[in-house]
Chain A
Amino acid sequence: MDQPALTSRFTLAYAYKRSLGPVIGAFMTGLRDRRILGARTADGRVIVPARAYDPASGEPTGDLVEVGPSGVIETVSHVAQPSPTDPVQVPFAWALIRLDGADTSFLHVVEGSAEALHRGLRVTARWRAERDGSLRDIEAFVP
């Protein structure tokens, strides 16, 4: 059989909206105002991003607590050559960051080369000038 396989073009798009509820909604709104919010659990831990229910107990979380905007890198996954869809167009890393005042780690982008970024390095959020209440309101973390 040397006939080419029958093919057809198919474009899938995802057009969903979400109600975030009072806790994750407050977290997103906080980003717009340059604040990173965590939620305090009944046993006193601070979960970031803020979540409505404590993953450990299933109980509702309590007060919202401002954390960061600086913290320490816990792990990094380096991207030496960003692709056009990556959030920044310079060498960077996806990193888990333990923000000051938080008891969980926060996944975000840290700018820098593989040589420059390492576990234990202190980094700070660099905010986008135009913010609309999304995780991209933090452009990246930088040393």
Chain B
Amino acid sequence: MIPTAVIGIGQTRHAAKRPDVSMPGLVREAALRALEDAGLTFADIDAVVLGKAPDMFEGVVQPELFLAEALGAVGKPMFRVHTAGSVGGSTAVVAAHHVSSGVHKRVLTVAYEKQSESNAMWALSQPFPFLPPVSAGAGGYFAPVIRAYIDRAKAPDHIGWQVAVKDRQHGALNPCAHLQLPDITLEQVKASPLLWDPIRYLETCPSSDGAVAMVLSSDASTCRNPAWVLGTSVRSEPLLFAGRDEVNPRAGQLCGADCYAEAGVTPDQLDCAELYVPFSWYEPMWLENLGLFESGWRAVDAGHTKLGGRLPINPSGGVMCSNPIGASGMLRFAEAARQVRGTADAHQVDGARLAMGHAYGGGSQFFAAWIVGSTRP
């Protein structure tokens, strides 16, 4: 495979509503920032890879065609990736493979969601005949899985509250983060309304408008700090099958294992990770699923996942602070790349050289991850 690097990253400032821009305007904002960071223009790009959550969310079918003009993609190969909430991650992996396979030299990849113009709850809850609807939304779907984790791991209630506070403290260091709650306390989280047992209001992600873009290239000669793609994986499993472990899905385990093997690293070598955590409890769950800690909740409780801890998780504030769904996965991948490029500003992990980006989607059934590093493979 041809060594491939992230040489440009751009994102919008994520917000509840961006009525000032159209969807094309939103994606273009992120794309132009990534190109500027790379010192390139649309003319330098060979192909565009686009990701977003299901078409029903905003009701735009084949949005890659709708957005081609805004992304300078007219007349160029353009590819849409479609893997539910994990899509931002899978899209980055597909873009990396466009380059590492040798097919293209420079690829622009973009992911977005405009939740203020979308109707995610509606899109997920259509009463299709003879099919069980997911009518409680994502929180209602995942709450029993979280309860099962708590029972299995014998985790105390305050772990979820700790993650909710920690991610918002991290997010307060990131000017692009939607939620800015620098003074949030454990007591506030504990006192916030119970939405779906055991998930409290402040333990959930927001609904955001936002986009993120990256330029991936086999030519990093013009970039002083490329983030090299060292390992990638996309794994999935069916939503329902006998014996499925939704607390610790096998597809997620294999996704992490693929990345460690391809990158030739062990989990304890990582300097930080950006994991897809839309509800606070998914941090300890994914820590175990990805083999980052034997006990996820004990790692949280010990402060290992805070900035300054053994393995900072979501130094950007993560999905708990910004959730433009289709972009959320790619934001994890891009923030991992920012860390190893040393460009994460106030949420930089000192001396980060190896970082993981991770995303999941559907009913914990679609997974994507990559490991990026500051050293060329």
- The CA-CA distance from A9 to B70 in the complex, in Å, is 40
Q: A8-B130, A58-B42 are in contact. Are A15 and B72 (CB under 8 A)?
A: no
In the complex, B304 has a CB within 8 A of chain A: no
In the complex, A114 has a CB within 8 A of chain B: no
Interchain CB contact under 8 A, B59 and A53: no
- Among the stretches A18-26, A122-130, A134-142, the one at the interface with B is A18-26
Of the four ranges (under 10, 10 to 19, 20 to 34, 35 or more), the interface on chain A belongs to 20 to 34
CB-CB < 8 A to B127: which residues of A? 10
Contact pick for B24, options A7, A10, A15, A21, CB 8 Å: A21
Interchain CB contact under 8 A, A53 and B69: yes
CB-CB < 8 A to A21: which residues of B? 20-22, 24-25
**B residues 26-76 in Cβ contact with A at 8 Å:** 28, 42, 58-59, 69-74
CB-CB < 8 A to A52: which residues of B? 22, 24-25, 70
Interchain CB contact under 8 A, B117 and A16: yes
In the complex, B241 has a CB within 8 A of chain A: no
Interchain CB contact under 8 A, A19 and B72: no
Interchain CB contact under 8 A, A16 and B58: yes
In the complex, A111 has a CB within 8 A of chain B: no
Output the nearest chain B residue to A14 by Cβ-Cβ distance: B59
- The CA-CA distance from A10 to B24 in the complex, in Å, is 32
Shortest beta-carbon distance from A45 to chain B in Å:
14
Output the nearest chain A residue to B60 by Cβ-Cβ distance: A16
Interchain CB contact under 8 A, A53 and B20: no
In the complex, B141 has a CB within 8 A of chain A: no
In the complex, B343 has a CB within 8 A of chain A: no
- The CA-CA distance from A10 to B119 in the complex, in Å, is 18
In the complex, B82 has a CB within 8 A of chain A: no
In the complex, B377 has a CB within 8 A of chain A: no
CB-CB < 8 A to B71: which residues of A? 58
Interchain CB contact under 8 A, B22 and A18: yes
Output the nearest chain B residue to A54 by Cβ-Cβ distance: B69
- The CA-CA distance from A14 to B25 in the complex, in Å, is 23
Interchain CB contact under 8 A, B74 and A19: no
Q: A19-B117, A58-B74 are in contact. Are A51 and B122 (CB under 8 A)?
A: no
Interchain CB contact under 8 A, B21 and A58: no
Interchain CB contact under 8 A, B22 and A24: yes
Contact pick for B117, options A6, A14, A18, CB 8 Å: A18
Interchain CB contact under 8 A, B73 and A58: yes
Contact pick for B119, options A9, A16, A58, CB 8 Å: A16
Interchain CB contact under 8 A, A15 and B22: no
CB-CB < 8 A to A12: which residues of B? 126
| Per-residue B-contact encoding for A61-94, CB less than 8 Å = 1, 0 else | 0000000000000000000000000000000000
Output the nearest chain B residue to A24 by Cβ-Cβ distance: B22
CB-CB < 8 A to B42: which residues of A? 58
- The CA-CA distance from A8 to B70 in the complex, in Å, is 42
- The CA-CA distance from A50 to B25 in the complex, in Å, is 14
- The CA-CA distance from A20 to B119 in the complex, in Å, is 17
CB-CB < 8 A to B119: which residues of A? 15-16
CB-CB < 8 A to A19: which residues of B? 18-23, 114, 116-117
- The CA-CA distance from A54 to B129 in the complex, in Å, is 43
Shortest beta-carbon distance from A80 to chain B in Å:
30
- The CA-CA distance from A52 to B251 in the complex, in Å, is 42
Interchain CB contact under 8 A, A58 and B69: yes
**B residues 5-26 in Cβ contact with A at 8 Å:** 18-25
Output the nearest chain B residue to A17 by Cβ-Cβ distance: B117
| Per-residue B-contact encoding for A1-43, CB less than 8 Å = 1, 0 else | 0000011111010111111110011000000000000000000
Interchain CB contact under 8 A, B21 and A56: no
Interchain CB contact under 8 A, A53 and B117: no
CB-CB < 8 A to B72: which residues of A? 58
Seed contacts A21-B25, A55-B74; 18 additional CB < 8 Å A-B pairs: A8-B130, A10-B127, A15-B122, A17-B116, A18-B23, A19-B22, A19-B23, A19-B114, A24-B22, A52-B22, A53-B28, A53-B70, A58-B69, A58-B70, A58-B71, A58-B72, A58-B73, A58-B74
Q: Which residues of B contact A (CB under 8 A)?
A: 18-25, 28, 42, 58-59, 69-74, 114, 116-119, 122, 126-130
* Interchain Cβ contacts under 8 Å between A and B, 14 examples: A6-B130, A8-B129, A12-B126, A15-B122, A17-B116, A18-B22, A19-B18, A19-B21, A21-B20, A21-B21, A21-B24, A52-B25, A54-B69, A58-B69
What 4 pairs between A and B have smallest CB-CB spacing? A58-B72, A21-B22, A8-B129, A53-B69
